[in-house]
Amino acid sequence: MPKLRLYNSLTREKEEFSPLDPGHVRVYACGPTVYNYAHIGNARMAVVFDLLANVLRSIYPKVTYVSNITDVDDKIMVAAKESGEAIDAITRKFETIYNEDMAALGVAKPDVQPRATEHIKEMIALCEALIERGHAYAAEGHVLFNVPSFPAYGGLSGRSRDEQIAGARVDVAPYKKDPADFVLWKPSTPDQPGWNSPWGRGRPGWHIECSAMAEKHLGLPFDIHGGGADLKFPHHENEIAQSCCAHGNEKNLSAFAKMWVHNGFVTVGGEKMSKSLGNFLLVHDLIKDTEGEALRMALMSAHYRQPLDFSIEKIHEYKRVLDKFYRILSDLGDVPDVEISVPNTVIESLLDDLNTPKAYAALNLLAKEAQQEKTPLAKSKFLLGGRVLGLLKKNVSDWRFGVVFNEITHDEVKAIDSLLVEREAAKKNKDFKRADEIRDELKAMGFAIEDTPEGPKARKI
């Protein structure tokens, strides 16, 4: 049985993954807050954990992958106020768009995609358990986690409580017993979304939702918890504090999740994407102009823990690669598939801490073999190697070749068609001068002609 090796943020080491229950691997990854379109940083997280789930499924009989939707959050309230839309209209809308956009990237929907608002009861129960055990207290309608009650706090991010306080740049609320204490539950004004609780009408703090949803859908402890690197502190640190302390596991940070996996950031021009820099790129926009698979391939082109510097050119580069791959598959249209498992060179690369660049190298070799050998085995190895990466999932006939393909107007299609017909006639009469003129004319219009076995084709350049 092949083994997966994964870098565990909690131990800061690459470890051999061994499931708590080999018959059922359980994974949780923090999903998006749905108040806007997903940017490519959100997409990187979704792609990385989709890939992890794929890899786990290729070696274990059952995998449950849970990734939540955060549909209660102050940012959503702000968005609702600005747009005048109802909160649940916004969250449902962007949840749907998120799932559509991720589907375009070949991301399968998680096995469970719980909504925070549907787990309020569980969150309240967690708060009560924490209060009972002396790890939390109620104050002025809030429930706060008392950080000094948990000496192991900070083990994930490698940050002592003192360091955290020293670096704090926010004013400490007067009702906090300790400056490091964080909110589990907070009161809502009548115009804010809220639920009845033992502490009055209120809403959850950010961190408690993932503790509640992970526990409910996976049970504790579970195998792998993941998310973006920026969630390590405070979000994941606080999840650990809540979930360990609620069940009397104050000494064992692994009592919540055994392994922690964090993906690196997407940068643009070498800097982290941020709204203030205006360098946010939305998946929704990018997939208008290219195949989502090209974006997926670009997002996997660096190791998941490294920063990924993104650019439009990078999408184009991987679009060209995928064009080549699909062209090979097109040439092998008549070659039947055979039933095999994922080729070793690819899966072994992925089992080594999801080394996607290494897997790409392996896939390129398989592509070359498929192209040259044209055998069912070579074709299937290539195809399956791509599939485990979430690539080569489309029918060749549906693949849109070319780097950019904005919508072409009806008039353009007619003009191009007549020029192509004229050029075919000119070629037949050996009037290559006229044929070349037509090539230049189309080039001036922004199209390149490719003569293929099926006849000439125009491609937007």
- Which of the residues 32 through 51 are near RNA (CB under 7 A)? 32-33, 39, 41-42, 44-45
Among 25, 30, 286, 332, binds RNA (CB under 7 A): 30
Helix (H/G/I), strand (E/B), else coil: 195: strand
C-beta closer to RNA: residue 277 or 408: 277
Cβ proximity to RNA: between 252 and 452 the closer is 452
| Residue 371 binds RNA (CB under 7 A) | yes
Residue 257: which of 1, 2, 3, 6 has the closest Cα?
A: 6
Specify the pairing of strand 5-8 against strand 13-16.
antiparallel
Q: Which stretch binds RNA (CB under 7 A): 99-107, 159-167, 191-199, 391-399?
A: 159-167
Q: For residue 281, give the nearest of 42, 33, 16 by alpha carbon.
A: 42
Question: By CB under 7 A, what part of segment 114-153 binds RNA?
Answer: none
Find the binding residues for RNA in span 296-335 (CB under 7 A).
301-303, 306-309, 314, 317, 320-321, 324, 327
55 binds RNA (CB under 7 A): no
Encode 171-180: b = buried (16+ Cβ within 10 Å), e = exposed.
eeeeebeeeb
Query: Which of 11, 157, 249, 254 is in the footprint of RNA by CB under 7 A?
Result: 157
Residue 24 CB, nearest approach to RNA (Å): 25
Distance, in Å, from the CA atom of 42 to the CA atom of 226, rounded to the nearest integer, reads 13
* Residue 283: CB minimum distance to RNA, A: 12
Q: Which of residues 339-368 bind RNA (CB under 7 A)?
A: 352, 355, 357-358, 360-361, 364-365, 368
Q: Is 449 in the site for RNA (CB under 7 A)?
A: yes
Rounded-to-integer distance, Cα 67 and Cα 225, Å: 10
Nearer to RNA, 1 or 170 (CB): 170
The one-character DSSP state at 232 is I
Q: Quick one: which of 437, 432, 439, 436 has its CA closest to 461?
A: 439
CA angle 397, 402, 404 (to 5 degrees): 120
* Residues in CB range of 338: below 8 A, 6 or more apart: 376, 377, 380
Per rule CB under 7 A, is residue 97 in the interface with RNA?
no
User: Candidates 100-108, 118-126, 233-241, 336-344 — which segment interacts with RNA by CB under 7 A?
Assistant: 233-241
Among 92, 159, 161, 201, binds RNA (CB under 7 A): 159
**Interacting residue with RNA among 10, 66, 124, 266 (CB under 7 A):** 266
**In this structure, are residues 32 and 98 in contact, taking their beta carbons and an 8 Å threshold?**
yes
Query: Is residue 439 near RNA by the rule CB under 7 A?
Result: yes
- Crossing angle of helices 40-59 and 87-104, rounded to 10°: 60
- Residues within window 378-437 making contact with RNA, judged by CB under 7 A: 427, 432-433, 435-436
- Written as six digits, the tokens of 407 are 């919508």
- Of 141, 130, 139, which Cα lies nearest the Cα of 176? 139
By CB under 7 A, residue 452 contacts RNA? yes
Omega of the bond leading into 221 within 30 degrees of 0 (cis): yes
CB of 280 to RNA, least distance (A): 8
The reply to whether 448 sits near RNA by the rule CB under 7 A is yes
> Which part of the chain contacts RNA (CB under 7 A), choosing from 53-61, 101-109, 163-171, 337-345?
163-171
State the Cα–Cα distance between residues 250 and 144, nearest whole angstrom.
17
Closer to RNA by Cβ: residue 171 or 407? 171
- Does 213 bind RNA (CB under 7 A)? Our answer is no
With respect to RNA, which residue has the nearer C-beta, 9 or 149? 9
- Residue 307: CB minimum distance to RNA, A: 6
Please give the structure tokens belonging to residue 296. 């997926």
Binders of RNA in range 62-81 (CB under 7 A): 75
Give one DSSP letter per residue of 106-123, joined into a string. TPPPPSB--BGGGGHHHH
**Within its chain, how far is the Cα of 407 from the centroid?**
27
Shortest Cβ 176–RNA spacing (Å): 13
263 lies in the binding site for RNA (CB under 7 A): yes
Which lies closer to RNA via its Cβ, residue 64 or residue 263? 263
**Residues in contact with RNA, total (CB under 7 A)?**
74
Residue with tokens 């768009």: 97
Would you say 287 and 295 are in contact if contact means Cβ atoms under 8 Å apart? yes
Least separation in angstroms between residue 50's CB and RNA is 13
**In the beta sheet, which residues pair with residue 260?**
225
d(CA 447, CA 172): 61
* Residue 103 binding RNA, by CB under 7 A: no
Should residue 8 be labelled a site residue for RNA when binding is judged by CB under 7 A? no
Q: Examine residue 234 and say whether the peptide bond preceding it is cis (omega within 30 degrees of 0).
A: yes
235 binds RNA (CB under 7 A): yes
Supply the minimum distance, in Å, between the C-beta of residue 320 and RNA: 5
Contact at 8 Å (CB) between 66 and 213?
A: yes
